[in-house]
């Protein structure tokens, strides 16, 4: 027991690069309860235990559907600018206390707004303002990556891309922390080529393009688009290569320990 406690403390203290944390899936249990109460939301759970079972991930999940289902409850509580801001700064705070030195926080405005009246500008501003507040408090390098769920309508993804680019180019406080662009969810039944124009526009606006979720096809096999080749740009994972071992250790322990 003491041994495992020492191990946990040791791992927590190690400097880590966390390069794939989903904002929309990483919410403290107490925050879920608070925000549900405040916004009078029905989370379809009769007790705290039931709610914990729905929201807490303590072991590897079987497939993508299981992962996405676990996001459903946390998605519901991200229903206002204030809620998003709070969840963002709590993510930074938790990461800092975990020994994370570099944090890449990703969020999907199209997913967050699904079934709600919240607008993309409220979502993006909530994230940027939440980051700003914590960056003033904690010495941590953080950036956010806007992601497009592949299975959502193309029109919705175009709108999100436009809005992310708008903020990236704006004078909004800490707009430069909006540093990356990525695709998410079903990569088997969707074609990366369909997203090539959006990826190219994001890249031209200064957003880094990540290698994750097979987007690296763009760099391995350049796609023909409007007569010019899209060279898949690779997000600068800034130092993460040397820290990848530590990240892997952190990832294994992260969920049972902190959520
Ligand atoms: Zn992911």
10-residue stretch averages of pLDDT, the chain, 259 residues long? 78 87 91 95 91 83 75 92 96 92 92 95 96 79 91 96 97 91 85 87 87 47 29 30 34 32
Between the CA of 7 and the centroid of ligand 1 the distance, in Å, is 27
Question: What spacing in Å lies between the alpha carbon of 22 and ligand 1's midpoint?
Answer: 6
Strands, E assignment, the chain: 16-22, 100-107, 141-149, 178-184, 208-209, 223-225, 228-230
Q: How far is the CA of 177 from the centre of ligand 1 (A)?
A: 19
Distance 113 CA to ligand 1 centre (A): 18
- The model's pTM is 0.79
pLDDT at 33: 95
Residue 20 makes CB contacts below 8 A (sequence gap 6+) with 104, 106, 212
Cα of 100 from ligand 1 centre, angstroms? 18
What is the DSSP pairing of strand 178-184 with strand 141-149?
Answer: parallel
| pLDDT value of position 2 | 63
CA distances from 73 to 58, 59, 173 (A): 16, 18, 30
Domains and CATH numbers, the chain: 18-258 (3.20.20.140)
17 C-alpha to center of ligand 1: Å? 15
CA of 118 to the centre of ligand 1 (A): 23
CA of 1 from ligand 1 middle (Å) equals 32
Q: What is the 3-state secondary structure (H, E, C) of 31-98?
A: HHHHHHHHCCCCCCCCCHHHHHHHHCCCCCCCCHHHHHHHHHHHHHHCCCHHHHHHHHHHHHHHHHHC
User: What's the rounded Cα separation, in Å, for the pair 1 and 58?
Assistant: 19
Spacing, Cα 3 to ligand 1 middle (Å) = 32
3-state SS class at 107: strand
Ligand 1 center to 183 CA (angstroms): 9
Confidence (pLDDT) at 60: 80
What is the structure's pLDDT at 214? 46
Question: Up-side HSE of residue 130: CA atoms within 13 Å toward CB?
Answer: 27
Q: Is 230 left (phi over 0), alpha (psi -120 to 50) or beta?
A: beta
> Do residues 219 and 208 make contact, with C-beta atoms less than 8 angstroms apart?
no
State the virtual CA torsion across 16, 17, 22, 25 in degrees, nearest 10.
Answer: 0
Rounded to the nearest whole angstrom, what is the distance from the C-alpha of residue 181 to the centroid of ligand 1?
A: 12
CA 227–ligand 1 middle distance (angstroms): 31
CA distance 257 to 221: 40
Strand order in the sheet with 208-209: 16-22, 100-107, 141-149, 178-184, 208-209
Q: How far is the CA of 106 from the centre of ligand 1 (A)?
A: 8
Give strand pairing partners of 181: 146, 209
CA 160 to ligand 1 centroid distance, Å: 18
Ligand 1 centroid distance, CA of 105 (Å): 10
């Amino acid at each position: 027991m003491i041994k495992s406690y020492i191990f946990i403390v040791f791992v927590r203290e190690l400097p880590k690069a966390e390069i794939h944390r989903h904002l929309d899936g990483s919410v403290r249990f107490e925050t879920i309860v608070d925000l549900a109460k405040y916004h009078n939301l029905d989370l379809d759970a009769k007790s705290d235990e039931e709610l914990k079972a729905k929201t807490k991930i303590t072991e590897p999940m079987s497939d993508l559907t299981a992962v996405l289902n676990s996001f459903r409850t946390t998605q519901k509580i991200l229903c206002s600018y204030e809620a998003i801001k709070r969840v963002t700064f709590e993510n930074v705070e938790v990461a800092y206390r975990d020994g994370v030195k570099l944090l890449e926080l990703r969020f999907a405005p199209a997913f967050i707004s699904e079934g709600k009246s919240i607008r993309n500008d409220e979502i993006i501003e909530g994230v940027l303002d939440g980051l700003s507040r914590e960056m003033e408090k904690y010495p941590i390098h953080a950036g956010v990556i806007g992601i497009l769920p592949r299975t959502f309508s193309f029109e919705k993804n175009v709108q999100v891309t436009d809005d992310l680019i708008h903020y990236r180019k704006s004078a909004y406080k800490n707009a430069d922390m909006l540093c990356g662009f990525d695709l998410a969810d079903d990569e088997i039944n969707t074609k990366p080529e369909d997203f090539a124009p959006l990826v190219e526009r994001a890249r031209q606006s200064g957003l880094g393009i990540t290698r994750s979720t097979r987007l690296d096809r763009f760099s391995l096999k350049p796609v023909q688009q409007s007569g010019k080749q899209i060279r898949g740009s690779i997000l600068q994972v800034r130092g993460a290569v040397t820290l990848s071992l530590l990240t892997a250790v952190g990832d294994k322990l992260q969920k049972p320990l902190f959520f």
